[in-house]
Amino acid sequence: MAVSTTRPSISPAAAPLTEAKRRIVDRLKRVDDATASELAEGLGLTGAAVRQHLDALAENGLVASRPRPVQGRGRPASAWALTDLARELFPDRHADLTVELIGSLRSALGPEGVDAVVAERTRRQLAAYRAALPPTDAPLRERADALAAVRTGEGYLAEVVDAPDGDGLVLIEHHCPICDAATACTNLCSAELELFRDVLGPDVEVQRTQHLLQGDQRCAYRLRATA
């Protein structure tokens, strides 16, 4: 079972694992938790070496220790388990699955069916965004910042900055967690543009100025108050 941790961590991809650390991570993936002694015995390593590797893994936010209850008297042992961040170290085909599902929907329901699915997703997003954003009579910056916070929570790494020419604001999304899906179904991108227009209100003009799928490094949207 993975353990959540709020400790700032670097990406596992930025710190390739040695063979010994990989063996420890793989072992912990197979069990709920394990003490350093149990890992050392199971992997044929010394206790000192295992503890050194665990400290390094913990420093990168990949493992965390927790007390293991003991029967009767005695001091609880410190057991180690993988954190949520460690999931990145194992294969993840969710993007491939999403693309496959989009293809299956298109084959089974036709383009109209896919459009209906995207429209339903957008409807749900709109309801959630409206609940999270201030009313449409709030200052544009306040609305835009709230939208960026929601999008960041969804993995888009969004921020709002002043437009370079001073005309309005720019909502920048530095990452797209649905890039593969959007490539397979471009309706997702057009739906998001309309979503921003709806949730920000009729007094805001929204124009996409950078688009990841068009070869840009990120997606960006110019926001101008029209009233």
**What domains does the chain contain, in order, with CATH numbers?**
12-89 (1.10.10.10), 94-225 (3.30.1380)
Q: What is the pTM of this model?
A: 0.64
- pLDDT (tens digit, 9 = 90+) per residue, 156-215? 999 999 999 999 999 999 989 888 888 899 889 999 999 999 999 999 999 999 999 998
DSSP bridge partners of 48: none
